[in-house]
Amino acid sequence: MMNKKLLAIPVVLAALAAAVWLARRDHAENASELTLHGNMDIRQVELAFNASGRVAQVLVREGDRVRKGQLLATLDTTRLQLSLNQAKALEEVQRNQMAKLKAGSRPEEIKQAAAERDAAQAAAREARQIYARQLDLAARHFISPQQAESAKNNLDGAEERLKAAEEVYRLAVLGPRREDVAAAAASRTAQSAAVAGLEHDIAEGELRAPADGVIENRVLEAGDMASPQKTVFTLALTDPVWARVYLPENALGRIATGARAVITTDSHPDRKYAGWVGYVSPAAEFTPKTVETAELRTSLVYQARVFACAGKEQLRQGMPVTVSIAYDQPAAQERPCAEAK
């Protein structure tokens, strides 16, 4: 008799378990809302400089809230700043050279060239007159032929100097060549690019927050060597914040993306945070078996994210939460809260 009683115990327990499971399934099918348990989750960013160098300043600590664009740390950019000053000075030289060429010859330079041309013309006339007299005297044998030849050479030199003076005057009137102006413009452009490159390198010596968030870890300190491969801070983004929960397979048809939800926490059970279902995984969390029974199929779960609309400062990473979602909500035409992403 005792053995029969012992054998009956597992049968009773199995029947009891089946009854409990059926009761829960019937309750889930008849309930008006789904209650899920999960944890809060956020995105994290590993922040690093986009350049290499020695850290000069670290301006925030763990737990500090930062705003997008806020300066977090800087590198020592003294050498780059000195190179930038030199490059700007050379850029100014190129700018002045360009302005000079574009302005052309000054009126005073043109007047000077004209005066030198006039002086060369007068010298050439005088040399021509002297040669004519010397030539007449040589023909009457008052002077030697060599003296007349010397006068001819002086005349030739004066005429060549006159040609040179006239060319200088013409060039002064025309101004710089187009090729010279183009070359000066190219030199100025190249120097401006060098200045922009150094300014960019100096800007990369600043590490700024890419978004609003909270500093979780401060890895490097002033004096450490930094590089693009070294993390300086770990930043926890405060927007968006979501609860990671798991939907049972039999609830997929009754919970749509965009459905409104309510999030509660153990630390503030009387406080309710509005939220919405922003994502439901298209795949189950584990690989189904080759042969499935109806009971096994309904035990599959799918990861979902319920985004919080408010209370993001109180909802922290890893915090256990309870999420309630009403079944069979109408399809949402827009997001339940505008700030949710």
- Model pTM score: 0.59
> Could you report the per-residue pLDDT of 3-27, keeping only the tens digit for each?
444 444 444 344 334 333 333 444 4
Contact indicator for 247, 267 with CB cutoff of 8 Å: no
67 and 102 housed in the same domain: no
Q: Are residues 97 and 70 in the same domain?
A: no
Same domain, 210 and 133: no
Whether the bond between 240 and the residue before it is cis, its omega within 30 degrees of 0, is: yes
Could you identify the residue written with the tokens 């052309």? 104
Residues 127 and 210 grouped into a single domain? no
pLDDT (tens digit, 9 = 90+) per residue, 173-195? Answer: 766 677 777 788 888 889 899 99
Residues 6+ apart with CB under 8 A from 136: none
Check residues 340 and 85 and name the one with the higher pLDDT: 85
Domain that includes residue 89, residue range: 82-200
In a domain, 109, yes or no: yes
Q: How high is the pLDDT of residue 87?
A: 92
Q: CATH number for the domain including 71?
A: 2.40.50.100
Residue at token pair 């710089």: 176
- The last residue of a domain, from among 175, 200, 225: 200
**pLDDT band at residue 336 under the 50/70/90 scheme:** low
**Residue from 257, 335, 328 nearest 33 by CA:** 328
Quick one: what percent of the chain has pLDDT higher than 70?
82
**Tokens found for residue 30:** 């008849």
In a shared domain, residues 63 and 152:
no
Give yes or no: residues 181 and 229 share one domain: no
Alpha carbons 55 and 73: distance in angstroms, whole number = 8
CB-based burial, 66-83: b 16+ in 10 Å, e otherwise: beeeeebbbbbbeebeeb
Domain termination residue (choose one: 184, 200, 216): 200
Q: Do 160 and 191 reside in the same domain of the chain?
A: yes
pLDDT at 289 over 80: no
Indicate if 86 and 186 belong to the same structural domain: yes
- Of the residues 200, 220, 249, the one at which a domain ends: 200
Q: Is residue 64 part of a domain?
A: yes
Q: Does some domain include residue 180?
A: yes
Is 90 domain-assigned? yes
Q: Quick check: is 102 in a domain?
A: yes
Q: Do 73 and 134 belong to one domain?
A: no
Q: Is residue 7 part of a domain?
A: no
* 273 part of a folded domain: no
- Record the tokens describing residue 285, joined without a space: 């969390």
User: What average pLDDT does the segment 133-156 reach?
Assistant: 80
pLDDT score of 22:
39
314 in any annotated domain: no
What's the confidence (pLDDT) of residue 79?
93
Distance from C-alpha of 263 to C-alpha of 269, rounded to nearest angstrom: 10
Rounded CA-CA distance 244/42 in Å is 10
Residues 119 and 226 in one domain: no
- Based on the fold, state whether residues 118 and 185 are members of the same structural domain: yes
Domains in the chain, number: 2
Gap between the Cα atoms of 262 and 92, Å rounded:
64
Residues 61 and 166 in one domain: no
Least confident of 108-117, 153-162, 241-250, 260-269: 108-117
